């Protein structure tokens, strides 16, 4: 990491120096976080140009003194549902009073989303994006799935694409009420006109493979159609009980299978032998009172683990990646270092990105300066606003 490229120090650049603990996520097996002490990072344009000891840093550039605080990569939230209308606070209150979570509650949000105008949805989305940025998230995915008509799914994909390239077509979120007795017709719609309308705005295809949502056979049909339209697969699976989600995700080489609350030993073995990331969503377990999955079990088996917020109005209405880290450490058996890695580099792997989630020359200049001396404070001091300055593509937000 030493050695500044010729000419970089003379370019319009920013040096972030006097970093007490730098998490690069470029490291050995002994330290996957690639921790550097007394470090500096040179930002040139929207990229990281140099990383190394503060004592070796150039002096002829604009300097930001970190004052001995910690710096981590910007969070990568690889699972959100940010374009929707209404909320489901009453449903949340009912769950806290003992009512179990069920996939059918999605239809409430579908009705509110269909009734909202594009401008209303766009304004609300802008608010959520500002919320993400304020909490250190610099890369995020957004799923459709709250329109469930051709026109509504297309507009959700289009609005999401205005704020992120990581758009996922999730027409297969739940079967809408008007198709309750015509499931095959709805799958035909998803794999035909709806997919054709949404594919130009989307990178990914996703299916909620779960009791109360879509069967394994329906899931395979929808994934295959999405792949044929050039979309890469990901999957909701094993959230409400054991099922075929992990098996199908691995079979279709999905980038990620998300939730993974109920896993068998066979599921874990399949994931360990694959490139499919297990994305855990601790905000869901917090909000639904389901049991937390064991990240420790997955990590010890050699599975790549990401954590994400699943920000949505029904089962996890939070956009806070710091909260996800604290929950992952407290409830899922992760160390603070593992949780921070999963919220940054792990999320990048779930999106098959190598330009974010790391602090290394050539990567996008997305960094978070914490108001804390180490990344451990994200779990050690839950609920405290520790995110100081956030840089996205080299510019402070």
Q: 81 a known binding residue? A: yes
Token pair, residue 29, equals 């097996």
How far is it, in rounded angstroms, from Cα 42 to Cα 19? Answer: 12
How far is it, in rounded angstroms, from Cα 374 to Cα 367? Answer: 14
Reduced DSSP (H G I as helix, E B as strand, rest coil) percent helix, strand, coil of the chain, to 5: 40, 20, 40
Q: 146 a known binding residue? A: yes
Question: What are φ and ψ of residue 40, in 5° steps?
Answer: -145, 155
Q: 186 a known binding residue? A: no
The set of residues, in sequence order, having a beta carbon less than 8 Å from that of 160 and lying 6+ positions away, is 82, 83, 125, 142, 143, 144, 167, 201
Handedness of CA 58, 60, 64, 67 (dihedral sign): positive
For 363, half-sphere exposure in the C-beta direction (CA atoms, 13 angstrom radius) is 29
Token pair, residue 391, equals 């840089």
Token pair, residue 233, equals 């697969």
Closest CA to 221 of 248, 240, 241, 181: 248
Q: 377 a known binding residue? A: no
The set of residues, in sequence order, having a beta carbon less than 8 Å from that of 219 and lying 6+ positions away, is 172, 207, 209, 235, 244, 245, 248
How far is it, in rounded angstroms, from Cα 41 to Cα 69? Answer: 13
User: Would you say 15 and 57 are in contact if contact means Cβ atoms under 8 Å apart?
Assistant: yes
Q: 229 a known binding residue? A: no
Closest CA to 168 of 38, 258, 91: 258
State how far the alpha carbon of 294 is from the alpha carbons of 117, 210, 228, 278, in Å: 41, 20, 35, 11
Length of the chain: 397
Q: Provide the annotated binding site.
A: 79, 81, 88, 146, 173, 236, 239, 310, 312, 314-315
Q: Provide the annotated binding site for Fe(3+).
A: 79, 81, 236, 310
Q: Provide the annotated binding site for Zn(2+).
A: 79, 81, 236, 310
Q: Provide the annotated binding site for 4-imidazolone-5-propanoate.
A: 88, 146, 173, 239, 315
Q: Provide the annotated binding site for N-formimidoyl-L-glutamate.
A: 146, 312, 314
């Amino acid at each position: 990491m030493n050695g500044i490229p010729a000419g970089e120090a003379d370019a319009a650049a920013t040096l972030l120096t006097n970093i007490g603990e730098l998490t690069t996520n470029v490291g050995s097996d002994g330290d996957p976080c690639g921790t550097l002490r007394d470090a500096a990072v040179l930002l040139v344009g929207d990229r990281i140009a140099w990383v190394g000891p503060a004592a070796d840093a150039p002096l002829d550039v604009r300097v930001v003194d970190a004052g001995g605080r910690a710096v981590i990569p910007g969070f990568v939230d690889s699972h959100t549902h940010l374009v929707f209308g209404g909320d489901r606070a009453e449903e949340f209150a009912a769950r806290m009073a003992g009512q179990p979570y069920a996939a059918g509650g999605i239809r409430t949000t579908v009705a509110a989303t269909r009734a909202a105008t594009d401008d209303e949805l766009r304004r609300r989305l802008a608010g959520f994006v500002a919320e993400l940025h304020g909490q250190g998230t610099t890369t995020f995915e957004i799923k459709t799935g709250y329109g469930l008509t051709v026109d509504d799914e297309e507009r959700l994909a289009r609005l999401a694409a205005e704020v992120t390239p990581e758009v996922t077509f999730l027409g297969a979120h739940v079967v809408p009420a008007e198709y309750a007795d015509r499931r095959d017709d709805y799958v035909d719609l998803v794999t035909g006109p709806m997919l054709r309308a949404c594919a130009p705005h989307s990178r990914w295809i996703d299916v909620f493979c779960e009791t109360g949502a879509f069967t394994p056979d329906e899931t395979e049909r929808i994934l295959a159609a999405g792949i044929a339209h050039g979309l890469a697969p990901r999957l909701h699976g094993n959230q409400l009980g054991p099922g075929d989600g992990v098996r199908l995700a691995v079979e279709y080489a999905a980038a990620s299978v998300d939730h993974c609350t109920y896993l068998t030993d066979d599921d874990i073995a399949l994931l360990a032998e694959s490139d499919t990331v297990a994305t855990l969503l601790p905000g869901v377990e917090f909000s639904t009172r389901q049991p937390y999955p064991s990240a420790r079990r997955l990590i010890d088996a050699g599975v790549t683990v990401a954590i994400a917020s699943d920000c949505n109005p029904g089962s996890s209405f939070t956009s806070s990646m710091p909260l996800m880290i604290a929950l992952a450490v407290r409830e899922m058996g992760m160390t603070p270092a593992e949780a921070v890695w999963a919220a940054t580099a792990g999320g990048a792997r779930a999106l098959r990105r190598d330009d974010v989630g790391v602090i290394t020359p050539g990567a996008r200049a997305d960094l978070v300066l914490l108001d804390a001396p180490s990344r451990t404070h994200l779990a050690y001091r839950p609920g405290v606003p520790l995110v100081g300055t956030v840089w996205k593509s080299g510019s402070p937000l």
